[in-house]
Structure 1
Amino acid sequence: MAKILISPSKYLQGAGEMKNLGTYAAKSGKKALVLISKGGYKRIGKTIEESFAESTCEVIFDYFNGECCNSEIDRLVKIVKDEQCDLTIGIGGGKIFDTAKAVAYYAGTPVFICPTIASTDAPCSALSVIYTEEGVFEKYLFLPANPNLVLMDTDIITKSPVRLTVAGMGDALATYFEARACKRSGATSCAGGKTTEAAMALAELCFNTLMDEGVKAKIALEAGVCTPAVEKVIEANTLLSGIGFESAGLAGAHAIHNGFTVLEECHHMYHGEKVAFGTITQLVLENIPQEDLEEIILWCIEVGLPVTLAELGAGKVTDEQLMEVATTACAENDTLHNMPFEVTPETVFAAIKAADAYGRYYLDEE
């Protein structure tokens, strides 16, 4: 099987870049549909409109209904075709990105993704997660190409809640360890091939950036400013993790996250927060040296990522419930089987319990 690396056609990151959106759009189309939430429009709609004021690309807005589902995608595809739009732009968070990517695919237009937060590595991917209208997971829609442009305005992201960027660090924390596991096992990545050395290098750079800059970035964000550390973490959360997970592969951490979705007690937690605990659990499964595990757990504590079941809201769940988490994580079609050794619900259950115990131990040591 071939080695494959995929990535967005262009990635742009900088202060005030949203003011240039109309200029970038004019290079790709004559009329753009901008998909945005009502709240997002209130915050930055004027900036977007001003960016198109002198652009040769016309713009129309439509408000996202809140769910990336087939009916919403169909509704927006009809608007794109009826209005003769030749460019789709998604501005906001993950479900808006996924909807915009799906709409662009079915309508046959290029797609721009403009995150207003840095909470996941989804913006760069050739993937949409489709839900039912009630918000229940339905399927993954694998797309033939990654976004044409990913635009990160660091001024806007710096104003978002700090917890969201920290959650993005939790999602990105998994990237290198899952990539390493996939390379060792020879697993097929989300890109449909084996891992390239380039993807591994980006995944490792992602991890090193988080360790070197994560705490500094969190403190700067709490002060309401964008520093070089913040810029580096935004890139790690979005671009490095995005290419790393898609072209190197997913393994234990994300499957364990998927297991935790069966617990209603965890539904209030962000994706990256659950992935961070899933990463610690994967590292317990791998039995990495204590000093390495300690480094990860103490870093999570310092930036504010959960290291115990209690911090996930699951402090009072039963062993039977945790076994259900472990069993779900080991689902036949999930990525836990990309680990380079056999994994069973029993070993995952033990790793979850041990990860919680290690977290409590280091919290007491603090």
Structure 2
Amino acid sequence: MNIVKGIASPGKFLVQADALQDLAIHGKAYGAAAYLICDQFIVERVRTKALSGFSNEQQGELVVFGGQCSDREIDKHVQAARAFDYVVGIGGGKTLDTAKATAHLLGKPVLIVPTLASTDAPCTAISVIYNDDDTFNRYLFLSRNPDLVLADTRILAEQPARFFAAGVGDGLATYFEARACFAAQRDNLILGTDGKMLKPTLIGFAIAQTCYETIRKYAAQATYAVQNNVITAALENTIEATIYMSAVGAESGGCAAAHAIHNGMTLVHDLHGAQHGEKVVFGLFTQLVMEAAPVEEIEEVVAIAIAVGLPLTLEDLGLKSFLEQEWRKVAEAACDKNDTIHNMPFTVTPELVYDAIVATDALLRSLKKQKLNAVH
């Protein structure tokens, strides 16, 4: 059997304060006309900081993201962006995934400016497609990673602390999911020319490890920078981990149970207000319980989660009451034949996932209580 391994990453990844104002300069390499999809809250800032930099030879059209990375939203932008040379996404994960999907379907370059360090969306060649009711639909695998990612630390230092913490939660899962994939030599998230996923590489796994080590060292300290809207070295390091290392580590190293359980959790109405990374970190704890990971390892991850302000238990995530039938459906969805839970190095069943979810919530309630008692 011919085993193909691979790594993927954006063409360029830049970490810079006030990078937004240099967007037009970077855009020249991709054409004269830019179609910009951005979140509502940053429209005026983009208009004054970015569009003002476009010369007479350049054109930029600014449109507001509709709120959901759905087939309907993507199709709207595909129709509107046909006459432009390249697409720019400015905003959160769903905005960026929409911009990437639009560029992919049009065969055009895409430039990314994340306003949140909360998901892997800025750097990956994957768009997560949702239904209009915010339930998970599918992964759309794209022909290439973004051509350029501009991580503007000025913008990212101003993000709400909750979103920053969610990015840490998503990044925390990267190493543990890649570890499971690498141990079993299961698939990563790079689509090969034959339509099959590639296998994880040593460098992909090493980046995933470095992501975890960086978060462990710097994330708690970086939280204070975000809370006060200032740029520090710890924040820059954590941004590199949560935006670049997390994405490249996940895409090239592979995902496993944590993200699959997140996908199942999108079925729970009470959790629709929870962030992607907040649900992923619960999925991570569930994966660690399924693996019977050493308690010291679990406690270390719990300590990081608490330090950055992540919710731990299902109640923390917004669950009002635990209904067995509902959570058995979550477990069933997590075990969909096409999801990444089957990258685990052992056979996973819905019953195993359900039992692990129940045990994980009980464990996290206990660890949280111990932490609170220690403080008082």
TM-score class normalised by the smaller sequence: over 0.9
* Counterpart contact for 2:157–2:225, Cα < 8 Å: no
Q: CA deviation at 1:99?
A: 1.6
TM-score (norm 2): 0.92
Could you tell me which residue of structure 2 aligns to residue 218 of structure 1?
223
For the structure 1 residues 310 and 258, does the alpha-carbon distance in structure 2 shift closer, same or farther, using more than 3 Å as the test? same
For the structure 1 residues 162 and 134, does the alpha-carbon distance in structure 2 shift closer, same or farther, using more than 3 Å as the test? same
Amino acid at match of 1:64: F
Q: Is residue 153 of structure 2 the alignment partner of residue 154 of structure 1? A: yes
Tell me the distance in 1 between the aligned counterparts of 2:225 and 2:208: 24
Could you tell me which residue of structure 2 aligns to residue 76 of structure 1?
77
Q: How many residues align?
A: 363
* Counterpart contact for 1:7–1:124, Cα < 8 Å: yes
Q: CA deviation at 1:252?
A: 0.7
Could you tell me which residue of structure 2 aligns to residue 29 of structure 1?
31
- RMSD in angstroms over aligned alpha carbons? 1.6
Question: Can you give the 5+ residue segments of structure 2 that lack an aligned partner in the other structure?
Answer: 191-196, 372-376
Amino acid at match of 1:73: I
Could you tell me which residue of structure 2 aligns to residue 288 of structure 1?
293
Tell me the distance in 1 between the aligned counterparts of 2:317 and 2:135: 21
Paired residues for 1:105-124 under 5 Å: 105-124=104-123
Q: Is residue 253 of structure 2 the alignment partner of residue 253 of structure 1? A: no
Tell me the distance in 2 between the aligned counterparts of 1:214 and 1:59: 36
* Counterpart contact for 2:162–2:310, Cα < 8 Å: no
Paired residues for 1:351-366 under 5 Å: 351-366=356-371
Could you tell me which residue of structure 2 aligns to residue 60 of structure 1?
61
Tell me the distance in 1 between the aligned counterparts of 2:69 and 2:325: 32
Tell me the distance in 2 between the aligned counterparts of 1:322 and 1:75: 35
Amino acid at match of 2:311: P
Could you tell me which residue of structure 2 aligns to residue 3 of structure 1?
5
Could you tell me which residue of structure 1 aligns to residue 91 of structure 2?
92
> SS at 1:121's partner residue?
coil
Amino acid at match of 1:65: G
- Deviation per CA, 1:201-259: give whole Å up to 9, x if none: 10000000111111101122112211111111111111000001111111010111112
Please point out which of 329, 336, 341 is paired with 1:331: 336
Tell me the distance in 2 between the aligned counterparts of 1:300 and 1:336: 23
Q: CA deviation at 1:136?
A: 4.4
Tell me the distance in 2 between the aligned counterparts of 1:181 and 1:174: 11
Amino acid at match of 1:227: T
Amino acid at match of 2:272: H
Amino acid at match of 1:225: V
> SS at 2:314's partner residue?
coil
Tell me the distance in 1 between the aligned counterparts of 2:273 and 2:221: 26
Q: CA deviation at 1:363?
A: 1.5
Which has the higher mean CA deviation after the structures are superposed, 120-129 or 164-173? 120-129
Tell me the distance in 2 between the aligned counterparts of 1:253 and 1:237: 16
Could you tell me which residue of structure 2 aligns to residue 349 of structure 1?
354
Could you tell me which residue of structure 2 aligns to residue 45 of structure 1?
47
* Counterpart contact for 1:33–1:80, Cα < 8 Å: yes
* Counterpart contact for 1:26–1:56, Cα < 8 Å: no
* Counterpart contact for 1:129–1:139, Cα < 8 Å: yes
Could you tell me which residue of structure 1 aligns to residue 245 of structure 2?
240
Tell me the distance in 2 between the aligned counterparts of 1:116 and 1:98: 13
* Counterpart contact for 2:159–2:226, Cα < 8 Å: no
> SS at 1:311's partner residue?
helix
Q: CA deviation at 1:74?
A: 3.0
Tell me the distance in 1 between the aligned counterparts of 2:137 and 2:329: 20
Q: CA deviation at 1:77?
A: 2.5
Could you tell me which residue of structure 2 aligns to residue 207 of structure 1?
212
Amino acid at match of 2:231: C
TM-score (norm 1): 0.95
For the structure 1 residues 262 and 189, does the alpha-carbon distance in structure 2 shift closer, same or farther, using more than 3 Å as the test? same
Please point out which of 317, 320, 324 is paired with 1:319: 324
For the structure 1 residues 21 and 307, does the alpha-carbon distance in structure 2 shift closer, same or farther, using more than 3 Å as the test? same
Question: Can you give the 5+ residue segments of structure 1 that lack an aligned partner in the other structure?
Answer: none
